Structure 1
Amino acid sequence: MNIFIIFTIPLGCILHRSHGFKVIQPQYRSVNPDGSASISCEHTANASSVEDVRLSALSVTNKASLLCQKGRTDCENIAMLRASPQKWLFILLNIGPEAMAVKYQCVFTVKKDNLDLTRTGTPTQLLPSQKEAACLNQPSPSSPPPSPPSLETFWIAIGLLALMFLYSCVITSFYIRLRCSKDEAGNSTYVEMRKAPRPRNPPL
């Protein structure tokens, strides 16, 4: 009995390793500004053929719904491309808010040693685009900072100051001339003119 267990456990491990493979997909993907995103699905199996590859959407309750599958041409807003024998690309188009609330899981079915083996990857979460994330993370200022004065405003202020200076100079000069004319009128003296003596009448 012990001998059977000793030989059975290593044999089971060898068989499990020979038939086991992994499905690799990104954990996070950012949505492009045009509302699209690509999810790569890749398997590590040394298999003769890939029987099926598909992309499913997982809800919050981990309920899976099929989005696109190998051989289908009616995938709504999803394009499927084969990059290599082990890698496929699913391009999601017109991504809306509802698409951000679910996760996306790659599923591979490969044929190896006349056996169909199916494995799933770790679901991918979509993230907002970098531009939207920057707008969301940027704190809104309580009041906009005051804008620096423009060059045009500076020259307008200089012109007003020059006009005020010229006006004050004119008023000052007018006041000085008026004051000087009053002083000259006050300093003038009155001189009485004597009458000339009448000529005497010559004797007849």
Structure 2
Amino acid sequence: MDIFIIFTIFLSFVLQPSYGFEVIQPRNRTVNPDGSASISCEHNAKAKSVEDARLSAISPGKSRLLCQKGMLHCVNVSMYEENPNKWLFILLNIGPEEMTQTYQCEFTVKNEARLDDRKTGTQTILLPGQKEVAFINNPPPPLPPKPHHHQHRFKPLDLILIGLLALMFLYSCVITLCYIREKCGKSEPENSTYVEMRKAPPPRNPPLDMY
């Protein structure tokens, strides 16, 4: 009887279902033109509750927490719960430093045996978008040299305007000279004769016998 009980307990431990699960996340994500990228974290555990969901940045020699369930302020990261099995992390303002890191999802769930089980996923690599690739492959053309101000070249239209102004100036000069000559000619009458005015003779003295 004791052997049967021991054998039953042994089989219960051997045949006990496993509560292991997997964390699923993309192997790589392409950065959007606005400098953002989304990483979906998903688990397939038949759990009663998710105790923790987080995203960490992995660099050589260290791991840095970016955002997790219950965190109120995540720097440059937005987190959304699509359903209990799937969470979405959106990375914002991705720069050169963020491109050198990898990103790892992590879930802590409470299984049917009311035990916490924690698993991490395969790290995600960020890839540059089309805008960044085009900028790297096709650098901008060099700027044209600045024009020298002292080397001014007249255009045909400028030459025509200058010629018209010169003609108008000459025409106004000719009109002015003709007007002056006409005025001077009218000021002196034709066939004028100079007559010398003679002085009147002095009056003679009256004879004395008139008095």
Shift of residue 73 of structure 1?
A: 1.2
Q: For 1:9 and 1:29, locate their aligned partners in 2 and report how far apart those are by CA, in whole Å.
A: 46
Partner residue in 1 for 2:68: 69
Instruction: Note closer, same or farther for the CA distance 1:106–1:12 as it changes in structure 2 (3 Å cut).
Output: farther
Q: For 2:14 and 2:36, locate their aligned partners in 1 and report how far apart those are by CA, in whole Å.
A: 44
Q: For 1:138 and 1:11, locate their aligned partners in 2 and report how far apart those are by CA, in whole Å.
A: 64
1:119-140 per-residue CA deviation (whole Å, 9 max, x = no partner) reads 0000000011122223434599
Q: For 1:13 and 1:38, locate their aligned partners in 2 and report how far apart those are by CA, in whole Å.
A: 40
Secondary structure of the residue aligned to 2:131 is: helix
Secondary structure of the residue aligned to 1:52 is: strand
Percent of aligned pairs with the same amino acid: 59
Partner residue in 1 for 2:134: 134
1:57-90 per-residue CA deviation (whole Å, 9 max, x = no partner) reads 11123x2111101011110010000111210000
Shift of residue 9 of structure 1?
A: 9.4
List aligned pairs for 1:151-170, cutoff 5 A: none
The one-letter amino acid paired with 1:69 is: Q
Q: Which runs of 5+ in 2 are unaligned?
A: 1-5, 142-211
Greater shift in the superposed pair: 128-137 or 69-78: 128-137
List aligned pairs for 1:1-204, cutoff 5 A: 11-12=13-14, 14-16=16-18, 19-61=19-61, 63-113=62-112, 114-137=114-137
Structure 1 consecutive aligned stretches of length 4 or more whose deviation exceeds 4 Å: 7-14, 137-141
Q: CA RMSD in A?
A: 2.7
1:135-191 per-residue CA deviation (whole Å, 9 max, x = no partner) reads 4345999xxxxxxxxxxxxxxxxxxxxxxxxxxxxxxxxxxxxxxxxxxxxxxxxxx
Partner residue in 2 for 1:196: none
Shift of residue 12 of structure 1?
A: 4.6
1:23-66 per-residue CA deviation (whole Å, 9 max, x = no partner) reads 000000000000000000000001111000000111123x2111
Max Rg structure: 2
Q: What TM-score do you get using the length of structure 1 for normalisation?
A: 0.59
Shift of residue 15 of structure 1?
A: 3.8
Partner residue in 2 for 1:150: none
The one-letter amino acid paired with 1:38 is: S
Instruction: Note closer, same or farther for the CA distance 1:9–1:98 as it changes in structure 2 (3 Å cut).
Output: farther
Q: What TM-score do you get using the length of structure 2 for normalisation?
A: 0.57
Larger helix proportion, structure 1 or 2?
Answer: 1
1:79-134 per-residue CA deviation (whole Å, 9 max, x = no partner) reads 00011121000001111110011100000000012010000000000011122223
Shift of residue 10 of structure 1?
A: 9.8
The one-letter amino acid paired with 1:56 is: S
